[in-house]
Amino acid sequence: MMRMQDMQKINEYEWEIPVSFRSDMRVPVRIFATRRLLESVMQEKSLEQAVNAATLPGLVGRVLVMPDMHQGYGFPIGGVAATRYPDGVISPGAIGYDINCGVRLLSSKVEFEAVEDRLEHLATALDKYCPSGVGVKGDIRLTTKELDQVCRQGARWGLSRGYASDADLQRCEEFGTLDGADPDKVSQRAKQRGRPQLGTLGAGNHFIEVDVVEKIFDSEAARTLGLQEGFLAVQIHCGSRGFGHQICTDYVREFQGAIQRYNIKLPDRELVCAPLDSPEGQSYLAAMRAAANYAFANRQVLAYYARQAFEEVLGGRVNNWHLNQVYDIAHNMGKIESHKINGKNIKVCVHRKGATRAFGPGSPGLPPEYSKIGQPVLVPGSMGTASWVLVGTEQSMTRSFGSTCHGAGRVMSRRKAKKTIRGERLLKELESRGIHIRAGSLPGLAEEAPQAYKDVDAVVETVSGAGIAKKVARLRPVAVIKG
C-alpha cells in the first residue's frame, strides 16, 4: 500500500513517485492533487496501479494521474500515459472498456427563469426520446453494412441521415471521426451487441442533464463557446455501449497471448498490451477507432433526440429553443499525437483513461473559432453537484500531454453506495432541491449518488491551480435522466 512518505511534493497541486520507488519502473509517476485529495485515495489501489503502469514498455515522459483518480481495471481511472510510436505498446486496459466514453455539451438561448415551470415536462420528454438502461435497445436498427458505415464515419454518418449539421461536426474532437477505423477488426459478437444500441444512453454513470449556467469565470471564452449566465445547457455523457465493451473484452483476451509472444513482463495481467507496430496492436487500434466512431455517432443521435424533446416542450413557449453544439470530447481514448518531450517533438500514442484531452490555444485540430481560447474541456460532476466547462492551456501541452481531469471521480464503489444510500431518500432530496430526476431504477440511482463522488469543485480547483486547464463556467443541474 502506498504511503504519503513515498511521494515527493512538487508544489501544492503536484506530487511525484520517483523511479527509485520500485526497480521495474521505467518512468516516474506525476500526480495532480492536493494533499486532501491524495489522502482520500491512499486506501485503494489507484496509485499502485499507476506505478504498475509505469513499467509498460516504450513509455516516454511520465505516467500522469489526475485529481479525480480512482481504481480501474489495471490502469487507474484518471490516468494518462504516452508510449513511443510506432515501437511502444498499446494497452486496452489503459484506455478502458467504454471506449470513447465522453461528453457532449449543447448551449441554448433559453432563460432558466422563463421555463422553470416546464422543466418537469422537459425531463419527461428527454426520458421518452433518449432510451436508457442496462442493455437497452433504441429505435435505430442497423444492418451489419450500416454498422460498418458508422464505424468508419462516426458522427459524419448522421449528417446524410438528418441527425447532424455541419456545425455539430465542426465542434467535435477529431470533427467526430477518427481515421483508420476498420470494422473488419471487430468481432461478430461486438457487432451483434452494437447494432441495436445506437442512440441509447445506457446505465451506470451515463446521463443526460439539463443545467443552468450558474457562473462565468472567463467572459471571452464563454462568449466564444456560446454560454450565457442564467441560460440552459444540456450535457450528454455516454460512450460506445456494449459494442466498445465487447471490443475491449476481445482484445484483452487476445493480448494475454501477445505478451507471451513478445516476451513482455508485467506486474499485473490487467495491463496486457502489444507493440503498436505488431499485427495485434494494429488490429486493436483499428477496432478501438471503430468503437470511438460509434460513440461519436451515438452522442450525435442523442443530441438529435434532445433537440426533439426541447422542441416538443418549449417550441411554443420560447422563440428560440434550439440547442447549439458547444463541443464533444472523449475521455477514454488512445490517440496518436506529437508532443514535445525533452525539447524534441515526438510522435506517441497517448492513453487517456478517465482523462480529457485539453489542447492549448493555437493547437491543430481545433475549430477556427476556438483556436484563440484553447480546446473546450467538459467536466461533469455528479447529478446533485456542479459541472464545469474549462479550456486547455499552453502548460497542459508541455506538462500533461495536453490532458486534464474528466469528472469528479468516485470515492465509494457502486456496491457500497447501494448498501449505504437509499434510492428513495436520495430521489426526494434531489427533487426538493429543484432537480427533476428520471431514473430507470432506485438502486441504480443510489449507485450514482453525489456522496459516492469527490468534490468536483476541488478537482477543478486542482487542475486550474496546476495550470493544466482554465475555468470558463460552472453549471448547476436542474434535470437529470439516468438509466
Catalytic residue ranges? 406
Nearest CA to 325 among 17, 30, 83, 104? 104
Q: How do beta strands 344-353 and 77-84 pair?
A: antiparallel
The DSSP letter of residue 101 is -
Length of the chain: 483
Question: The C-alpha cell of 244 is what?
Answer: 466498445
CA 267 vs. chain centroid, Å, equals 27
Question: What is the identity of the amino acid at 434?
Answer: G
Do the beta carbons of residue 155 and residue 169 sit within 8 Å?
A: yes
Residue 260, CB-side half-sphere exposure with 13 Å CA sphere: 4
Q: The dihedral of CA 161, 163, 169, 173: what is its sign?
A: negative
Please report, for the chain, how many H helices and E strands are present, in that order: 15, 19
Q: Where in 56-168 does DSSP place strands (E)?
A: 59-70, 77-84, 89-90, 102-111
Burial grade of 128 (CB within 10 A; 0-12, 13-18, 19 or more): middle
Cell, residue 397? 501541452
Instruction: Tell me, rounded to whole angstroms, the distance of Cα 456 from its chain centroid.
Output: 15
> What is the CB neighbour count within 10 angstroms for residue 127?
22
